[in-house]
Amino acid sequence: MKRTVLSTLALLGFLLAPLAGKAAAGNTDAPVVCNDVLINGGFESGSAGWTQSSAGGFDLISQYNPRSGAWGAYLAGYDNADDRLRQPLPLPAGTISATLRLWWSLETEEPALANDDLTVSLLSADGTTLAELWMVDNTAPAGQWAEAVIDLTGYAGQDVTLQLRATTNAYDLTDFYMDDLSVLVCIPASLPQRSYLPLVVHS
């Protein structure tokens, strides 16, 4: 009986030793808080959170072809398009992970060549392009929604603005659609936390 008890204690000690070492090393078990920092990523609150510009003068937030809800982003759909949606992103120094997710779809009259495209970029504070993160052109499969997942962790601590931009050439239309965007940012709970107010859904 005594030998059995000792063996059990030894086994427990063996099992607990790595855990104790891990905790003593710190960080690994530090509390983490994750939030979607993107405002109105589903466009259900109209233009809230977004700055838009369109070479054709179009409202880029549309009820034409949303993936979910009643509203989505509809970029291009005309020749010589240059349509942009922008939103500043809070990516504080110390961010553990930051992940952009978006859903996109396209329709096109282009027969073969890649002439029209949709890009996701980060702009720096002065408006110049800091990084082009992701791109799709008119040769991608049309008529279906697909998800893109983009790692933003490397830009933590910088003053960045997300830009979604569609450009087209002078002939053969392409429509680009986006919806259900999110930017999940995880930071240590010890960092100052932003407050996130519920958005009012516009009618």
Closest by CA position to 33, among listed 117, 103, 125, 95: 95
Side-chain-side CA neighbours of residue 56 (13 Å): 17
182 interacts with Ca ion by CB under 5 A: no
Minimum distance of Ca ion from residue 103's CB (angstroms): 9
For Ca ion, which stretch binds (CB under 5 A), given 13-21, 62-70, 88-96, 185-193? Answer: 62-70
What letter does residue 191 receive in the DSSP assignment?
A: S
Q: Which of residues 120-159 bind Ca ion (CB under 5 A)?
A: none
Residue from the set 66, 103, 118, 130 that interacts with Ca ion by CB under 5 A: 66
For Ca ion, which stretch binds (CB under 5 A), given 4-12, 85-93, 96-104, 163-171? Answer: 163-171
155's tokens: 């830009």
- CB-wise, 76 or 156, nearer to Ca ion? 76
CB atoms within 10 A of CB 71: 21
d(CA 146, CA 176): 12
E-strand ranges in 49-199 read: 51-54, 61-62, 72-76, 82-89, 97-108, 117-123, 129-137, 146-151, 160-167, 174-188
Residue from the set 37, 42, 83, 163 that interacts with Ca ion by CB under 5 A: 42
107 interacts with Ca ion by CB under 5 A: no
172 interacts with Ca ion by CB under 5 A: yes
- CB-wise, 175 or 179, nearer to Ca ion? 179
- CB-wise, 23 or 70, nearer to Ca ion? 70
69 interacts with Ca ion by CB under 5 A: yes
Strand 72-76 with 174-188, pairing: antiparallel
Residues that bind Ca ion (CB under 5 A): 42-43, 66, 68-69, 71-72, 115-116, 168-169, 172, 179
